[in-house]
Amino acid sequence: MIGVQGLTLGYGGRTVLRDLELSLAPGEFVYLQGPSGSGKSTLLRVLNRQIESYEGEVRIQGRPLRSLPRFEARRLMATIHQGFELIDRKTVLENVALAGEVLGADPAAVRAKAQEFLHKVGMEGKEDHFPRQLSGGEMQRTAIARALLNRPPILLADEPTGNLDGENAFRILELLWELNRSEGTTVLMVTHSTELVRAMPSRTLHMNGGRLDAVEPCEILSS
Ligand SMILES: Nc1ncnc2c1ncn2[C@@H]1O[C@H](COP(=O)(O)OP(=O)(O)OP(=O)(O)O)[C@@H](O)[C@H]1O
């Protein structure tokens, strides 16, 4: 599903990712941990094509990421962030529908799909609210509905619970797991929270010196 070989890149002569290897199977839920500044977000920015200048090979569903047309990459992968990144002057429904509109889908069909996804993430009844009227957890639910509207096979989550309190963070993690099971979405989630990883253990990668080490679930459980 995702294959990375020999990924090397730096900023201004300082190497951040060094000969990095990564392989994610379809339907996997993988955590990515590591100290602040170790390059986790940089890796996600390569995968979602915000960074296009690097050495090495990145493949998505076997196809080189470099040669994927932009719309195709958008169909395959969506990203959510800790800052939610909703548009303030648009309602919840309009924010979610936007993901379908940018792909040129029929507006009525997009609205119906947006409603369906808002229901799936527990946001029914809040369609006409604006982001400022939502709690942090509700904003992230809306962002997740928007990310998954086009049913991308891959979801990249960059500290999606970073701005939420413990209980809301856990609820969002549960929701991501539920979507992983029901939609088969492959999830790569950056998190600083070992508590969350312990609550719902899965394969965990640790960014270390620009490379990724696997952390065995038993190490997480005993840490
Ligand atoms: N646009 C940029 N220009 C220069 N240096 C950058 C840029 N973006 C990131 N860096 C540097 O690259 C390194 C890796 O940053 P990155 O954001 O990928 O780390 P991270 O592991 O996601 O950190 P955190 O856990 O704090 O979010 C850091 O030292 C950072 O300062």
Query: By residue range, what is the domain housing residue 138?
Result: 2-212
Amino acid sitting at position 194: T
C-alpha 188 – ligand 1 centre gap (Å): 18
Whether residue 222 lies inside any domain: the answer is no
Do the Cβ atoms of 30 and 177 come closer than 8 Å? no
C-alpha 204 – ligand 1 centre gap (Å): 20
Say what the pLDDT of residue 115 is. Answer: 95
| CATH classification at residue 93 | 3.40.50.300
Q: Distance between CA atoms of 163 and 81, rounded to whole angstroms?
A: 10
* Bridge partners for 2 per DSSP: 24, 60
Mutational pocket test of ligand 1: of 9, 14, 16, 20, the residue with most ligand atoms within 8 Å of the beta carbon:
16
Whether residue 92 lies inside any domain: the answer is yes
> Structurally, how many domains does the chain consist of?
1
* Residues in contact with 178: Cβ distance below 8 Å, sequence separation at least 6, in sequence order: none
Whether residue 189 lies inside any domain: the answer is yes
Whether residue 134 lies inside any domain: the answer is yes
For 136-165, give one letter per residue: b (16+ CB within 10 A) or e. bbbbbbbbbbbbbbbebbbbbbbbbbbbbe
Whether residue 99 lies inside any domain: the answer is yes
Whether residue 151 lies inside any domain: the answer is yes
Which ligand 1 atom is the nearest neighbour of the CA of 45?
18
Quote the pTM value.
Answer: 0.92
Say what the pLDDT of residue 215 is. Answer: 65
Do the Cβ atoms of 132 and 88 come closer than 8 Å? yes
What residues of the chain score a pLDDT lower than 70? 215-223
How far, in Å, are 71, 140, 192 from residue 197 at the CA level? 32, 19, 9
C-alpha 221 – ligand 1 centre gap (Å): 28
Residues whose beta carbon lies within 6 Å of some atom of ligand 1: 11-12, 16, 34, 36-42
Say what the pLDDT of residue 101 is. Answer: 85
C-alpha 193 – ligand 1 centre gap (Å): 18
Closest by CA to 4, choosing from 204, 216, 148, 211, is 211
Whether residue 223 lies inside any domain: the answer is no
Q: Distance between CA atoms of 171 and 178, rounded to whole angstroms?
A: 10
Whether residue 158 lies inside any domain: the answer is yes
Amino acid sitting at position 40: K
Write the pLDDT tens digit of every residue in 86-133.
999 999 999 999 998 877 789 999 999 999 999 988 999 999 999 999
C-alpha 5 – ligand 1 centre gap (Å): 20
Strands 77-81, 154-158: pairing is parallel
Q: Distance between CA atoms of 186 and 166, rounded to whole angstroms?
A: 24
Q: Fill in the DSSP letter of residue 206.
A: E
Say what the pLDDT of residue 219 is. Answer: 56
Nearest CA owner, ligand 1 atom 13: 37
Say what the pLDDT of residue 105 is. Answer: 81
* Residues in contact with 15: Cβ distance below 8 Å, sequence separation at least 6, in sequence order: 8, 9, 210
